[in-house]
Chain A
Amino acid sequence: MNINLTLFGQMVTFAFFVWFCMKFVWPVIIDSMEERQKKIADGLDAADRALRDLELAQSKATDQMKDAKQEAAGIIDQANKRAGQIVDEAKNQARTEGDRIKVAAEAEIEQEMNRAKEELRASVAGLALAGAEKVLEASIDEKANRTLVDKLAAQL
């Protein structure tokens, strides 16, 4: 229980160890810890940012998808319309063609009819005359009757 030189020995030792700790131990450890803390905080920040970026990208993707869908729907509409148009056009064309063919056919028929009429007309006088000749047996002046019958035939 004696107080002696040990007291001062311990004071010097104490001072040395505190100095040593202050110089070589504490700053190194606390600096590395603070740096790590910063690193972790940065990492968490980055993670947050990435999350926000992801959300942004997702909403952007959704928007784009919606646009694309709309566009697709528009294209399909257009295509339908165009198809209808084409069908209509085709119908019209067909109708016109049909009409044209009908008109041509009618014209041909008329031509045929006219030709037949002409032929009939040409031969009707002769036939009538031959008939009449048969009926009258040469009593008829061919010449005078001929004009008569021609006149008749022209009326056909």
Chain B
Amino acid sequence: MAGGNPASTTEYIQHHLTNLVYGKLPAGYERTTEQGVEVLQADTWTMAHGGQEATDMGFWAIHVDSMIWSIGLGSLFCWMFLRAAKKAHTGVPAGWLNFVEMIVEFIDGAVKDSFHGRNKMVAPLALTIFVWVFLMNLMDLLPVDLIPTLLMMAGVEYQKIVPSTDPNITLGMALGVFVLMLYYSFKIKGTGFIKELTMHPFNHWGFIPVNLFMETVGLLAKPFSLGLRLFGNMYAGEMIFILIATMFAAGAGAGFVSGGLHAELFGEQTSGYFWLVIFLLVTGVCWLNLKGKVSTGKTVLLCMAFMAIGGGLFALGGGLMQWGWAVFHILVITLQAFIFMVLTVVYLSMAHEDH
């Protein structure tokens, strides 16, 4: 897809980082299509073609891919856990129920550790956040090109399948948590919350503006750090997958010995012929081995040599790197889901604490 061409590599990365956007283009907008430039007569709700249009849509746009994957994964979570809840009994648990109970117990323990108020909502909230965020992060482990390529064949131009690499999604959840924080702060502390904002850390009326500024910044920093932390981690992880994929694609296209050579000698179109030659050589050696003209050991060595020249080794290297990063990323996605959950619980716990 990318080859060694820096322009196409940038394009490839850009394409991977563009959401499928449905939104409103304002009247008078100059739309560049294949038929030429089209000037919109009225406000139009439409699918954006490319990142520029998506940006021009401004606020009145929605990331269709993020929403679909997010809602889909959330529904998956609800359905799976509801199935377990329907089967819940007091006998010996087995299979899926066992797994669900393990997660529930884990969440319950974590919530009991850091949340000391009385609130029936915090534990289910934590469970939802943990499992949902984990599932959203888990999409990162699917091969980066798999679903976007398949959907491209079906006519969908852009697709970002990891909702948690979309700041709207992570900040949306963080803002949800923020609303809960404010709600419970007012509910539990009442005017005490105002006092906390104005009379802290300097307990003097003259310092009210300073206190208010500091406390407000501190308060607002919570949801933003919460949302941006998850977004940043997942975005970076996704980026590394994409970068490895560009190297992988380049390797698969040419091969490290011949890559420079064939590009120098023949130009872009030749990689197909090149692969055909390698294929014929390998097949020929195998055929000779079957006829008994070449020993098996030599066959293996020759095939390996051909494949190494053909870029098999390099491609394999790319695959191994993808795999290695995926293994490492499993830790990241679990940890990030856990951190999001724990911080939510801690923030809500702070909202419940009356000084």
Contacts and interface: CB of A to CB of B under 8 A. Distances in A.
A87 B100 CA distance: 87
Given A25-B127, A36-B91, 5 more contacts: A2-B55, A5-B23, A10-B66, A21-B81, A25-B85
A23 to B, nearest CB: 8
Interface stretch (B4-12, B35-43, B67-75, B291-299): B67-75
B90 A32 contact: yes
B121 A18 contact: yes
Contacts of A9: 62, 67, 168, 172
Instruction: Give the size range of A's interface with the partner.
Output: 20 to 34
5 contacts: A6-B62, A6-B63, A26-B127, A29-B104, A30-B123
Contacts of B104: 26, 29-30, 33
B125 A22 contact: yes
A22 B124 CA distance: 5
Contacts of A2: 21, 54-55, 57-58, 61, 168
Interface of A: 1-11, 13-15, 17-18, 20-22, 24-26, 28-33, 35-36, 39
Contacts of A24: 78, 82, 85
Contact of A14 (B123, B124, B173): B173
B278 to A, nearest CB: 42
Contacts of A21: 77-78, 81, 124-125, 127-128
Contacts of B171: 3, 7
Nearest to A14: B176
A29 B99 CA distance: 12
Nearest to B89: A32
Given A17-B77, A22-B124, A4 B59 contact: yes
B23 A10 contact: no
B60 interface: yes
Interface in B148-188: 166-169, 171-173, 175-176, 179
Contacts of B66: 6, 10
